[in-house]
Amino acid sequence: MLSTATGAPIANDMKSMKIILHRSQSRSVLGEHYLTAFKDAVELYVVSAYLTEWDWEIKLTPACKRFRCIIGKDFGITRKSACMDVLRWLPASRKADFLVADTIVGFHPKAVIWRTAKGQAFMLVGSSNLSRAAFEGNVEANVLVPISEKAFEEAKDWIEWIEDRSVPVSEDWLDQYVEAVRNPGGSGKRMPARKEKSPVVTFKLPRPSKTADRLRVRRKQLEAYAKQRNGLIRLFRRAASGSITNTQFFDELPQYWSMEKGSRLQGKGWERTGKHADFQELAASFVAILDANKRDRDDVVRVELDHLDARGNSARKAFLSEMLCLRFPNDYPVLNDPVHRFLRLNRFTAPRGSSEGAMYIDLAKKLRMALRANPNYPAKNLAELDLLIWASSDYNPNA
């Protein structure tokens, strides 16, 4: 059974609960529980209304398969310096896992939710934000409680809802974010900024000429792919299992994916650079992504792209990203220069030092948010948005 004040180890009793009451001018045990969560978790979710400091002593275990840290930006209380500390603290492959609830007004949760390798799940929730003051100086009340598998799944659903309305924190986002001004009285306290109803970053989506005609073409391509999808996926599974060679995969590919079939999005050129790729290796990654459940798919995509990058697989960008866009048009974009240029023009690129997989997930999340923020926009998924970006003279100098 857990004690109520001493910070004793967590017991297996699911009815146990620890109340953490902190008085000012005393050292809290709260920080120790944060350290334990980061050290033991294989799944870890941190949500905090504000971020004013970051504790560099926290170490995220490499065994953590899924991590999200989501902060709020209401009133401008979150500090840019603290966010930069998190970006420097995160490994390259995790930089897209640090998000801000940019489109949620009234984001005020303060919780850490995690599961260990032993299957135990816990929630630490209360009045404390992630700050040194919460651990040392403030008067705070928090509760640490084991939770059931059902409760943990409900918490993950809640996190997923928040994540869908959040964007990765990057240097570009921070450049546009406005902090609250400090109290001119010199007390060190900060005066609240005006509460914004709109997100920090707003997207100006391209509207090229003949938009409706262009979208009809793209939708026909997606329909053509849908007719070939089962055969194409069987081809990938055969390559992933080693049943066919790389050459056989490349030779059979046009039966299902080609301009003649009408199922290909990109133009010519890939054949020259991708012909000699290790398609068995790439197919194994694609099959792992296909077989992942929707909730975990972003993490699997990130891991597999980083693996293919480390292996130097030449088909991992244009070809694999098109396969992802065709199969999951709502979730994943085609990797191309006009799309990257679109984000740069919106001043919203990936954090510096991101791995290839993290950069792709960052791109996907930001393009998803661009469409979510513009519900009346004619393109309804990332495959359609890709075509309009390409067709726009603002983003395609060859248009």
In this prediction, residue 132 carries a pLDDT of: 58
Is the Cβ–Cβ distance between 327 and 266 less than 8 Å?
Answer: no
The model's confidence at residue 16, banded by pLDDT at 50, 70 and 90, is confident
Report CA-CA distances (Å) from 59 to 35, 41, 90, 93, 262: 7, 11, 10, 15, 49
HSE of 244 in the Cβ direction (CA atoms, 13 Å)? 16
Q: How confident is the model at residue 266 (pLDDT cuts 50, 70, 90)?
A: confident
pLDDT at 79 over 50: yes
Q: Does residue 367 surpass a pLDDT of 50?
A: yes
Predicted confidence (pLDDT) at residue 191 exceeds the cutoff of 70: no
Q: What percent of the chain has pLDDT over 70?
A: 85
Identify the pLDDT of residue 6: 33
Query: Which pLDDT does position 30 carry in this prediction?
Result: 72
Instruction: Read off the pLDDT of each residue in 170-196 and give the average, rounded to a whole number.
Output: 70
Average pLDDT of span 239-265: 95
> Rounded to 5, what percent of the chain is helix, strand, coil?
45, 10, 45
Q: How confident is the model at residue 347 (pLDDT cuts 50, 70, 90)?
A: confident
Q: Who's near 205: CB < 8 A, 6+ residues apart?
A: 370, 374, 377, 379, 385, 388
pLDDT at 290 over 80: yes
| CA distance linking residue 46 with residue 114, whole number of Å | 9
Instruction: Please state whether beta strands 140-147 and 110-116 pair in parallel, antiparallel, or not at all (unpaired).
Output: unpaired
pTM of the model: 0.87
Length of the chain: 399
Judged against a pLDDT cut of 50, whether residue 381 lies above it is answered with yes
pLDDT digits (tens, 9 = 90+) for 140-163: 778 889 999 999 999 999 999 999
Q: Which of 268, 310, 303 is nearest to 285 (CA)?
A: 303
Whether the pLDDT of residue 276 is over 70: the answer is yes
Q: Which residue in 266, 290, 299, 274 sits closest to 383, CA to CA?
A: 266
HEC string of 192-244 equals: CCCCCCCCCCCCCCCCCCCHHHHHHHHHHHHHHHHHHHHHHHHHHHHHHCCCC
Tokens read off for 222? 């997606």
Residue 196 main-chain phi, psi, to 5 deg: -85, 140
Query: How many whole angstroms separate alpha carbon 42 and alpha carbon 25?
Result: 34
What backbone phi and psi angles, to 5 degrees, belong to 2? -75, 145
What is the spatial distance between Cα 363 and Cα 396, in angstroms, rounded to a whole number? 18
The per-residue pLDDT for 378 is 96
Every domain of the chain and the residues it spans: 18-176, 211-391
Res 13 pLDDT > 50: no
CATH code for the domain defined by 18-176:
3.30.870.10
